[in-house]
Amino acid sequence: MTLRNLALGAGLALAAATALAGAANASTITINLGLTAQNLTLYGKGETSPGSQIGTYTVGQGAGTFDGTTSTFTFSGAITGGNTAGLDSGTYQFVTTYLGDDTPTAGPNAPRAQASAPNSNSFVYSFLDPSTNMTLFIQTPDGNFSEQLVHNGQFLAGFGFAYANATCTGLGANPCSQGLVGNTPGATISGQITGGVSFDSGGLQGGVPEPTTWALMILGFGGVGAAVRARRRTALAA
């Protein structure tokens, strides 16, 4: 399956995003992610080709740190709903890691994206470095859980974001526009987001490590997540 088929979308709509994985069923968990404490930043890189009006970006997903080997980006906020009792409230951390430095434009191995025609105010990932992992950690009344969303640059679940507020730089007198940022090298759009995730309940893991161990744990979750999906075991609360 291609990145475009499972990629995240982001727009300027002042509404919560819905998960991209389609209609929920008995084995699908959906979780609504409330307003993040951190910003999603898109760094404009210009059109895919001259005159295409399809903008491109590198993506900074939250607050970033670099430990000398791995960049780690984190969104955090409150869970605002979902389709599964006990998992529809609490708090979350959406953690992205990849090898390489965290530079002012999210690093050379940062996720890359392009505008999704015909809506220039949405985007899909166009490239994830093979070292990229994204994991959702949740703390709920039923316990602490984790779900790996991307492993080694491959999508395992559906998710989507929408800007709740945003500001732009580098556009001169033009109004703030996500699509225009993508067409304008050096421009940025940044702001808090809401979101949604949707995943197979067989992949949910009980227990959440301490924040200082997240990066190491994320790098090792892939094999475990795949095995759990194959067995479709029921997650246990921590």
Tokens 């959406």 identify what position? 94
Under a CB-based contact definition with an 8 Å cutoff, are residues 157 and 47 in contact?
no
Query: 113-148 pLDDT, tens per residue?
Result: 999 877 888 889 999 999 999 999 999 988 999 999
Does 7 reside within a domain?
Answer: yes
* Per-residue pLDDT, 205: 67
Under a CB-based contact definition with an 8 Å cutoff, are residues 44 and 183 in contact?
yes
Mean pLDDT of 56-84: 94
Under a CB-based contact definition with an 8 Å cutoff, are residues 29 and 87 in contact?
yes
* Highest mean pLDDT: which range of 167-171, 216-220, 230-234: 167-171
Does 236 reside within a domain?
Answer: no
Two tokens, residue 41:
């930043």
* Per-residue pLDDT, 206: 64
Two tokens, residue 32:
């609504």
Domains of the chain: total: 1
Is residue 2 scored above 70 in pLDDT? no
Comparing 221 with 162, the larger pLDDT belongs to 162
Element (H, E) at 180: helix 178-183
Distance CA 16, CA 13 (A): 8
Does 238 reside within a domain?
Answer: no
Under a CB-based contact definition with an 8 Å cutoff, are residues 42 and 181 in contact?
yes
* Per-residue pLDDT, 139: 96
Is residue 31 scored above 80 in pLDDT? yes
Distance CA 164, CA 37 (A): 12
Does 150 reside within a domain?
Answer: yes
Query: 5-21 pLDDT, tens per residue?
Result: 223 333 332 222 222 33
DSSP summary character for residue 207: -
Does 87 reside within a domain?
Answer: yes
* Per-residue pLDDT, 106: 83
* Per-residue pLDDT, 4: 27
pTM value?
0.77
- Find the Cα–Cα–Cα–Cα dihedral 21, 7, 43, 147, rounded to 10°: 60
Comparing 20 with 160, the larger pLDDT belongs to 160
Does 219 reside within a domain?
Answer: yes
Does 237 reside within a domain?
Answer: no
Element (H, E) at 155: strand 154-155
Structural domain containing residue 163? 3-231
Does 96 reside within a domain?
Answer: yes
Query: 184-225 pLDDT, tens per residue?
Result: 999 999 999 999 999 887 766 665 444 444 344 334 333 333
* Per-residue pLDDT, 203: 62
Is residue 23 scored above 90 in pLDDT? no
Distance CA 119, CA 121 (A): 5
